[in-house]
Amino acid sequence: MWWEEKTMRTFRCRLRQIPGALGRLLLTLGEAGGDIGEIRVLRQGTTHVERDIVVFADGPEAMEQLIAVAGTVPNVTLLEVRDDVLEMHQGGKIAIRSRYKIDSLEVLRRVYTPGVAEVCLKIAKDPRLVRRYTAIRHFVAIVTDGTAVLGLGDIGPRAAMPVMEGKASLMETFSGLSGIPILLDTKDVDQIVEAVVAIAPTFSASQLEDISAPRCFDIETRIQDRVDIPVLHDDQHGTATVVVAALLNVEKTVGKPLRDSRIGVVGLGAAGMAIGKMLMFFAGRTVLGADLAAGALRRFEGFGGTPSSLGEIMSSCDVVVTVTGAAGLIKPFMVRPGQIILSLSNPVPEIDPAAAMEAGAAFAADGKAVNNVLGFPGIFRGAVDANVPRITQDMLLAAARTIAESAPKGEIVPSPLDLGLHRNVARAVARVALEKGLNRDDLTGYFD
C-alpha cells in the first residue's frame, strides 16, 4: 500500500469555531505535500474544537516542513505532534498472562503447589501428556540473531525485537498460537543451532526469523534434523508460499498456466532460493535463477535449478520474480510484452509495477501485497494442531492454494485481516498431514 512508504504523524490541533478554519489547515497541508488520513474530534466547545488529524509525508524531512507550515495557519494552534507508531511500541506489544484469576488459596493450590505435583508426575510417566496439560501445545519460538531484519540488514538481536513482537502479535491474533521471541546474541552457526535445540522442549514449533543467507539454510536444516517439532524459516518458506499463491491467481488473469510458463528468479538469497525450490516443486520443471554470488548459483543448481543471468531471464522468461534488494535494477526497456513480473524487494522494488505495465508487462506487482503474514500463522497452526515433526512442501503448497482461493475477485491475494483465511490455511495444512500420515497422536485444534 502507498502509505507503507510514508512517514505518519498525528497532529493534535485546536481550531477556532469559525467557518473555513479546518479547510484552510487541510489546504495548507495539502499544498505543502501532505496527505490527510483520519480526522477525529476530541473535544468541542463553544469557541474552539480540538481535533487529531493523521498526516502522511514523503519522509521525515517532508514531515518537518508540514509541522512548520501547520503552525502558521490562522485560527489554528498546533498543540502536539504524536508518533502513534512509537507510542504503540512503548512497553512492548506482547505479554504472557495467566489464563486463570488467582484470587483464593483454593485456586492457588490448584494452579501451583501442591496440586501441580500430580500433573508433573503424570507427564513424567507419559511424556505425550505434556501437550494436554501444559501451554507447550500452543507455544512457538520466534528465533532471530538480528542479521537480516526486514530491509534494515544486520542491526542486531535487540533492535530486531520490535519485529519479533510484531510476529508474535500477528500469530496470536490470526491463529491463537503464542509466539515467544527468542533473541540470540551470537552469529555463530553452531551456537545458534545448539541454543535452539536446547530450548526446543518448551515449544511445539520453531519459527526462524531474519537470519541472513546463506547461514540460514544450514541453520534450519541442522536444527530440523535434531528436533521432533516443525522448524520453518519464514523469510524462505512463508514468502515462497505467498508468492506461489499470488502466481496461481495471476495465471487466471493472463490465461497461461504456471506449469507451462518459463520462470526465472532474480536474487537467490533466503527468499529467492525458497521461491525457486517451491516453484520447481509445483511446476515439475526447472526454474532459472540469477545471483551475483557464485555460491548461491551452485546451491540453486544443487536443488535442481538452472543457473542463469538477469539478461537471460528478462529476455526469455514468462514469469520473473525478483528479490534482490536492488532498487531500480530492472529498467523498462528490459521488460518483454506479456511478461508477469513480481518485483518484491521492499521498500523500493526492482521496478515499479506501473512502469512495468507501461512497458508491456501483462501483470506486475511489488512486495507490499505479497507478504508472508498471509501464510505463516495458518501454516504453523495447522502443523501444530496435526502434531507433525516437520512441515513439508506438500503442506506449503496446500497453504498456497488455499490463500489463492481465498482472494476476492480481481485480487491476487486476500486481506491478512481475514480470520477465515488463516483458519482455512490451518485446516488445509493439517489435512495434508493427516492424508500423508505425518501426524502423531493427541490431535488438538480446530481444523476438523
Pairing mode, if any, of strands 178-183 and 139-144? parallel
| Active-site residue, selected from the candidate residues 101, 125, 133, 167 | 167
Query: Exposed, middle or buried: residue 428 (CB in 10 Å: 0-12, 13-18, 19+)?
Result: buried
Q: In the annotation, is 133 catalytic? A: no
| Active-site residue, selected from the candidate residues 112, 252, 331, 436 | 112
**DSSP output for 255-324:** T--GGGS-EEEE--SHHHHHHHHHHHHHHSS--EEE-S-HHHHHHHHHTT-EE--HHHHHHH-SEEEE--
CB 341 within 8 A of CB 351: yes
- The residue written with cell numbers 500452543 in the block is 138
The 3-state DSSP class for residue 43 equals strand
Q: To the nearest 5 percent, what fractions of the chain are helix, strand and coil? A: 50, 20, 35
Query: Exposed, middle or buried: residue 105 (CB in 10 Å: 0-12, 13-18, 19+)?
Result: exposed
Dist. CA 307–CA 313, nearest whole Å:
10
**DSSP output for 168-224:** HHHHHHHH--EEEEEE-----HHHHHHHHHHHGGG-SEEEE-S--TTHHHHHHHHHH
Q: Any idea how long the chain is? A: 448
Dist. CA 165–CA 186, nearest whole Å:
19
Q: In the annotation, is 93 catalytic? A: no
Backbone angles phi, psi at 342, to 5 degrees: -105, 105
Which residues are part of the catalytic machinery?
112, 167
